[in-house]
Structures are given as structure tokens and as C-alpha cells.
A and B are shown apart, each in its own frame.
Chain A
Amino acid sequence: MDVSRLLVLLEAPLQLTWQNAVMMAVGGVLIYLATAKDYEPLLLLPIGFGAILTNLPLTGVAGPDGFLGILYKAGISTELFPLLIFIGVGAMTDFGPLLENPKMALLGAAGQFGIFGTLMLALWIGFPMNEAASIGIIGAIDGPTSIYVSSKLAPHLLGPIAVAAYSYMALVPIIQPPVMRLMTTEAERRVRMPYTKREVSRLVRILFPLVVTVVVSLIAPKASPLIAALMLGNLLRESLVVERLSNSAQNELNSVTTLFLGLVIGSTMAGNQFIQPTTLMILGLGLLAFVLDTFGGVLLGKIMYLLSGKKFNPLIGAAGISAFPMSARIVQRLGQEYDFENFLLMHAMGANAAGQLGSVIAGGVVLALVAGIV
């Protein structure tokens, strides 16, 4: 037998670059974080696996005819996956606490401060408008929104942006509390807010997704697909007549899409494209976006504290972001740390639901503004 034939077996190892090796290690770290630390395992596990797979030379899995490449074309280029996930998110989200307390909508807007703050900073550093907007959208703290916006504006940055969005989301319980402590006094953190009971009728719950879809679509047409998918899911939930569809959206549809989305995001992490100074900048700016969101939310919380005659606990402002219901739980936990009889959870849930809505609308606003410029 000709020895040179055996070289075929060495072909792939010989083409393995150090960048490939580094990215496979990164994939390994993501899988470690998912399995050992329970950090967003539903996403980080498939992302990690996708990253390892795509960095194996000559497999072609991420190429145009590979199965990850086909999934990319089918679900990311078309923006289909983020939208399908949003139907599930809408079916999972209880907007009741927001409807009980509509003024929380303000906090859902303030919690988007990081998007615009980071966008400005990225522009100032020298990123072009489409890239700056995609980086800023990490501040939506919402994976599907980030993927949706960046796949439209700057698809070449999708990998780092999605990785930043999802890994920082897992770190929200670590990122938020120091900012919240820094910005509030102990007396402010101790402000007690008794539960305010208000029954929300079924009619209101059903009208809410319809009205939001129509109003937001009219104001920010670019946000329409995102908000419509989110609200469709919510309508399935609140109508109470299509429990099967609601459950499917929350479970099967969401799981399948999350699996595909994770794998495809992982497949964008090819070594030669990912290992660049830009990636580090994106990761840094993304972290800043999370901090600025918290800052903006708590700042408005403090203003509401003053306007309400010190009856509003400014910690709740931190929940005006999209990480639902994680952020509301952080507020509850931090509040109880200073006064174990203080239960801020339901108020924070209202702000958190508003943040979910706010991030989607902000994503649409960014798309509309940038589309007009680029």
C-alpha cells in the first residue's frame, strides 16, 4: 500500500490553525459554563458545540451546503429563528404585573439606556454606524433582539454579539447588584412598597397584545415583526382558549428553535473571523451596555423615588431590562437583604415585563434610525 495515501488521514489535522484550536477551547469553556455552572445551558451548550464543530477543518458543516450553513440561511439570514423564539417568549411572559402598574412602562424605557449610550461610544471609537448600532443592541439584553438587529445591520459581527449578549445575560446576577448598590443609599434600598392589588380583566389582557402590536407597528414599522411575534405568543397565552398552542410555543417550538439558533451562532465563531481585536472591543462594549442599562433604570428609579415622596424603591429601576424574570428576582433578593419584610417582587416584575417590551421596541427604533442613515 502506498504510504502517501495515509496522508489523507492527516489532511485535516495539518490544516488546523491555532485560531481553530483557540476557538475550540472557547467552545469547551462555554460547554463547561453550561454544564458545571448552569449558565444559560440551553444556549451555551449548543453554541459551544457549534463552535467546536465549525473549527474542525474540511468538514464543511458551516459551509453553504453543510447542515449548519443551511440552518444559517434558513433561520438567521431570514430572521426566522429570533421571531419564532419570540412567539415562545410572549407565551411565557405574564404582563399582568405591568398592566396592574402601568407607570412601570417608564422603567422599561430607561432600561434601554445602554443601547444608545453604547451606540454613541462605539461611534466615537470609530465603528461605522451599522456596526455601532449592532454593538449597542447588546444593551437590549435580549438574545433574539440582538441577533435580529445585527443580522440585518452587520451580519459579520453576529458571532461576537450573540456570544456577548447570551453570556452576559447569564451574568446579570453578578453585573447588576454592584451598580444597584453604588447608585442607591441604604435608606433608599429599604423603602418598602406594599403589594398593590388591582385585578386585570381578561378583556384587558386580550386587548393588550393587540393594541401593542398595532400601536408599535404604526410608530416603528421595523419593530413590527419582533413585537408582533412577541404579542402573538402573549395572545395565545392570555386568550385561554388555545392552551395547546400556547404550550407548544413555550416548549416545543422554543426548544427546537433554541437548539438550531445556538448551533448556528456557534458556527459563526470560526477562528480566523472571530479572533480579532474587534471581538474584544465588542465584548467590552457589550458589558458596558449592561452596566449602562442598569444605571439608566436605577437613575429613573431614583427620580421616581423623589417624585413619589420617597415611596418608590429605586432598586426596582434595575428590573427595567429584558432579562425576564431574572432581573426582577435580583431586585427582590437585594431588597430583602436590607429588610427581610420588604417584598418588591411584584413591582419589579412589572418593570421587568416593561423591559422586555422596551428592548424589542428599542431594537425596532435602532433599525429604523440606522436604516435611514446607512
Chain B
Amino acid sequence: MSDRKIKVVVNGKPYEVEVSDPMASSMKVTVSGKAYDVEVETEGVAAVVKSAPAAPRPAPAKVTPAPASAAPPPAARGPDKEIRSPMPGVVLDIAVKAGDKVSVGQQICALDAMKMKNAIRSPIEGVIASVDVSDGQKVSYGQVLIRFE
């Protein structure tokens, strides 16, 4: 994966940044056209800027992948620690349970919408705290499927 758009909040001020590979421990980050070398210390939560040409200094920053669109609806994604249903549908093939450790991109479950099975994958690395839906359950848009610890 390359060039992921990520929203970084520094002291309450949001920045749109592009990241070469959000899972690498050391990554190239572009903020408003300026390139930084960023090292991630703990599972994509705290980031330390190694060599920044100038301010803004996004460290330590909370790294939250966010939709690229400017105004995501509040229900589209929780602030962090959960996966919500991206559209109405029926949950199938739940592949995880509470306590499981999942990696980025790992399939959590499938969502059957308009007679098409769609893979729901984990956007972050973490441990699952609870699975809030069951196989065959009808879910609405924005409903919480999984919570992380």
C-alpha cells in the first residue's frame, strides 16, 4: 500500500497528510507539500518526527486514518477504536472473536449488501474487545460491528 491519506491532529489542529506506508516503523510523510521522516513507536498511535525541515511539528500525534472527503458523516467511522458498518446489509462470516489480535487489512467479516458480499477489513492493528454483531444479523449504516481494546 502506498500514499495513504491520513488525518493528523496536533493540539486540536487537523492536518491532511500523505503517508508512504502507514505500517512501516519508519515512513515518509508529506504535510502540505513538505516531506518528513517519521518513526512510529507504538502501534501507530504515537509518532516521533526524526527529521523535520520546519514546523509544524506533528509529534506526538494521534494518527487516525480518515476518509479523504472533507466532511465525513459522524457515523461513518468512530473516532478510533471501532469498526462501523459502511452501508446497510447483513453480516456474514465473522472471522474474529473477542481477544483476537488483528492486523491492518485482516478480514473481520463480510457484509452482504445488494446481494454482494463485501469484505470488512480492519483499518488498524489491535486487539478485539468485543464483537457486537452475530452471523446473519441485519445492520444499518454506521452500526458498530467490532470494538477494539
Which of A's residues lie within 8 Å of B, judged by CB?
94, 97, 186-187, 190-197, 309, 311, 325, 328-329, 332, 336, 340-341, 343, 345-346, 349
Contact = CB atoms under 8 A, between A and B. Distances in A.
Contact of A340 (B73, B88, B116, B121): B121
A329 B67 contact: no
Interface in B82-127: 86-88, 105, 113-116, 118-119, 121, 123
Contact of B86 (A309, A325, A343): A343
B70 A340 contact: no
Interface of B: 3, 5, 65, 67-70, 72-73, 76, 86-88, 105, 113-116, 118-119, 121, 123, 141
Contacts of B114: 94, 97, 325, 328, 345-346, 349
B54 to A, nearest CB: 26
A94 B114 CA distance: 9
B69 A340 contact: no
B72 A194 contact: yes
A345 B105 contact: no
- In terms of DSSP, what is the predominant structure of the interface of chain A? loop
A191 B69 contact: yes
A153 B54 CA distance: 71
A197 B116 contact: no
B119 A340 contact: yes
Nearest to A346: B87
28 contacts: A94-B114, A190-B68, A191-B68, A191-B69, A192-B67, A192-B68, A194-B67, A194-B69, A194-B73, A194-B86, A195-B86, A195-B87, A195-B141, A196-B73, A311-B69, A311-B70, A325-B114, A325-B116, A328-B114, A336-B118, A340-B121, A341-B67, A341-B121, A341-B123, A343-B118, A345-B116, A345-B118, A349-B114
A192 B141 CA distance: 16
Nearest to A341: B123
A223 to B, nearest CB: 27
A72 to B, nearest CB: 34
A325 B115 CA distance: 9
A97 B70 CA distance: 23
A346 B121 contact: no
Contacts of B115: 325
A97 B141 CA distance: 14
A304 to B, nearest CB: 14
A346 B141 CA distance: 11
Contacts of A345: 87, 113-114, 116, 118
A346 B72 contact: no
B25 to A, nearest CB: 22
Contacts of B5: 190
A328 B72 CA distance: 23
A343 B121 CA distance: 12
Nearest to A190: B68
Contacts of A187: 3
Q: Which of B68, B72, B113, B123 has the most CB of A within 10 A?
A: B68
Contacts of B68: 190-192
Nearest to B83: A341
Given A190-B68, A195-B86, A343-B86, A332 B121 contact: no
Given A195-B141, A346-B87, A329 B116 contact: yes
Given A192-B68, A194-B72, A349-B114, A343 B87 contact: yes
Contacts of B88: 195
Which of B69, B115, B121 counts the most chain A CB atoms within 10 A?
Answer: B69
Nearest to A192: B67
| Interface-central residue, A97, A311, A328, by most chain B CB under 10 Å | A311
